[in-house]
Amino acid sequence: MIILISIAAFFSTLIGGLFALYLKDKLPLILGFSAGAILAVAFFDLLPEALNLAGKLHSTTTVLAAMAIGFMTYLVLDRSVLLHNHAESGGHRANVGAGSLSFHSFLDGVGIGLAFQVSTSVGIVVAAAVLTHDFSDGINTVNLVLRNNADRAKAFRWLLVDAIAPVIGVLSTLFFVLPEDTLGLLLALFSGFFIYIGASDLIPESYHAHPVRWTTVMTVTGMCVLYVVIKLASI
């Protein structure tokens, strides 16, 4: 199953990038839904599992601190690349930015693999959220490259790199198994990643220059749908 999910991650990223190349005006509602899905997985699945696994050896404060570290780490990486981009030429900005997004996609794949180490149901829920995020990653990769005066051919090459990255991330977790308490702290770390992605990236991008009402509805819908999926997966 994990191989099939890694293939799905590849195509989710690829399709998102193709949407950005050819159907850019149709994306806000999809991004709004993706934001809700990502946040729901962080709050309703990853964090509870982290508390359950790591809580046997670590305090609740420690687990929540790991979540906060994940949020701040993603923030620093995101802002560092952004600040560096302003100081460099357009072509270099495109390469650095797209490379950073591809690394983020690799971490998404690692998150899927680690979730499957917890259980199949957790893995499926996390995979569902990551697939929606990979779709937006493909969009963001293409948009970033095109914004920096690169052509469509270069944007498509970076899209392929970004699409392959989560596959490599998923497959890498087949070669190691983590203790429950360590796995719990890493899930908390990834929940921080997801909260940052949803709140600071996908939500603003979904309603930027678009009607707030419907993108907000889609974000709430995304959270509700994933909440139901998580509950059904835990039965």
pLDDT digits (tens, 9 = 90+) for 29-78: 777 887 888 888 889 888 988 898 898 899 999 999 999 999 998 888 77
Q: Compute the mean pLDDT over every residue in the chain, rounded to the nearest whole number.
A: 80
Helix, strand, coil distribution of the chain in percent, nearest 5 = 90, 0, 10
Nearest alpha carbon to residue 163 among 38, 17, 2, 4: 17
What pLDDT, on a 0 to 100 scale, did the predictor assign at position 23? 65
Find all residues with CB under 8 Å of 114, minimum gap 6, and list them.
Answer: 173, 178, 183, 186, 187, 190
- Each residue of 206-227: pLDDT tens digit? 776 566 788 888 889 989 988 8
Nearest alpha carbon to residue 169 among 202, 119, 133: 133
- Each residue of 107-131: pLDDT tens digit? 788 888 888 888 888 888 788 777 8
Find all residues with CB under 8 Å of 5, minimum gap 6, and list them.
Answer: 112, 123, 127, 131, 170
What pLDDT, on a 0 to 100 scale, did the predictor assign at position 185? 92
What pLDDT, on a 0 to 100 scale, did the predictor assign at position 86? 47
d(CA 66, CA 229): 25
**CA 178 to chain CA centroid, nearest Å:** 22
Nearest alpha carbon to residue 137 among 232, 205, 84: 205
What pLDDT, on a 0 to 100 scale, did the predictor assign at position 72? 93
d(CA 85, CA 217): 33
Q: Please provide the size of the chain in residues.
A: 235
Q: Is a pLDDT exceeding 60 seen at residue 88? A: no
Report whether 230 contacts 125 (CB < 8 A).
yes
Ranked by mean pLDDT, which of 81-85, 88-92, 162-166, 194-198 comes out on top?
Answer: 162-166
Residue type, 179: P
What does pTM read for this prediction?
A: 0.67
Find all residues with CB under 8 Å of 27, minimum gap 6, and list them.
Answer: 19, 20, 139
Using CB atoms within 10 Å of the CB of residue 204, give its burial: 0 to 12 exposed, 13 to 18 middle, 19+ buried.
exposed
What pLDDT, on a 0 to 100 scale, did the predictor assign at position 93? 61
d(CA 233, CA 235): 6
